[in-house]
Each structure stands twice: as structure tokens, then as C-alpha cells.
Amino acid sequence: MPSTETKIKTKKATVKPAKETVVEIAKPRKYFEAVGRRKTSIARARIFKGDGKITVNGKDFKVYFPLKKHQTVVRSPLESLNIAENFSATLKVLGGGITGQAEAIRHSLSRALVKLNPNYKKRLRKAEYLTRDPRAVERKKYGLKKARRAPQWAKR
């Protein structure tokens, strides 16, 4: 009488694995990725060799940021290094408002550029693009109208 162990082994040996279909995937371009933050916004930047095209959440950055001041904030790390036309970037950003998102993108682009070339760090640090701005909205306290605004006081 054969043991149960051999029965299990023979059953496992008879099961054939399903055929795997091999799908050829295009080789991804080499990129450098970094995360940047500002207020409640979080941005992820992927930077790679290209023609200077910047996309934010699948849209051109000029469509996503219609105001000129936000566009200059987004491009500022590339412009300060004079490499705006040599590199392209794809960005994902979420949370916060439009100004916080633009500054989070600037932070993430700066970090990605330092990963690309550590020699850029000194110039980006001097321009204060690598420092995470810690300012955020102060929380509201109980008994107050806002974070610090107390209810109006009347003597009578």
C-alpha cells in the first residue's frame, strides 16, 4: 500500500502549468524620479532626455497652470540651470491648491535634477529649490473662530 505522500507528489507532477504568453514591452526610457512636497500637495517628477516638454497629470503644464507665475515656478529649476530644452518631464501631483502644487513640482524637479547630476545641487540649493518649505496652515483651536481669532468680546 503506497503512502499518502507519494500520492500527493504524483498528483502534483501530473498538473501542467498554463501556457504563458510572452508580450514584448517597449524598453522604457531612462529617467530619474523624485518626490516634492509643499503644504498639502505632493508631486512626483520623472525627468529624462527630451525636447523640453513638461506634462502634469497627463496635460501640458501650460494648460494645467494657466497663470504665468505658476508656469515660471514650475520651469524655474530647469531655467536656472539653462537645461530647459534638453530635458522633458512627466509629473503627477495631487492635493492642495494650485500654488502649492506648482511649488511641490518645483521641489520634485529640483530633487530629480540632483539625482541626474549631483553637480547641480550647489546651484539649486543656493536658489532654495531643494529646501522643503515647512509652512502650512495652523489648525483651528476649540473656543476660537479660526486658529488664533477669538470671538468678539463685549463688556455689556
Confidence of residue 11 (pLDDT cuts 50, 70, 90): low
Residue 52 lies in a domain: yes
Q: What confidence score (pLDDT) does residue 12 get?
A: 52
* Tally of domains within the chain: 1
Q: Is the residue at 26 inside a domain?
A: no
Read off the pLDDT of residues 115-154 as tens digits, 9 standing for 90 and up: 999 999 999 999 999 999 999 999 999 999 999 999 999 9
List CB contacts of 57: < 8 A, sequence separation 6 or more: 64, 91, 92, 93
CATH number at residue 107: 3.30.230.10
Segment 45-63 shows an average pLDDT of 94
pLDDT at 143: 96
Please check whether residue 149 lies inside any domain of the structure.
no
107, part of any domain: yes
Q: Which domain holds residue 85?
A: 32-121
d(CA 88, CA 53): 5
DSSP 63-91: HH--SHHHHHHHHHHHHHTT-TTTEEEEE
List pLDDT tens digits, range 126-136. Answer: 999 999 999 99
Write down the pLDDT at residue 2: 56
Quick one: pLDDT at residue 156? 82
In a domain, 115, yes or no: yes
pLDDT at 6 over 60: no
97 inside domain: yes
- What does the block give as the cell for 36? 516634492
Please give the distance of CA 43 from its chain centroid, rounded to a whole number.
3
- Could you tell me if residue 144 is inside a domain? no
| pLDDT digit string, tens, across residues 62-109 | 999 999 999 999 999 999 999 999 999 999 999 999 999 999 999 999
Residue 58 in any domain: the answer is yes
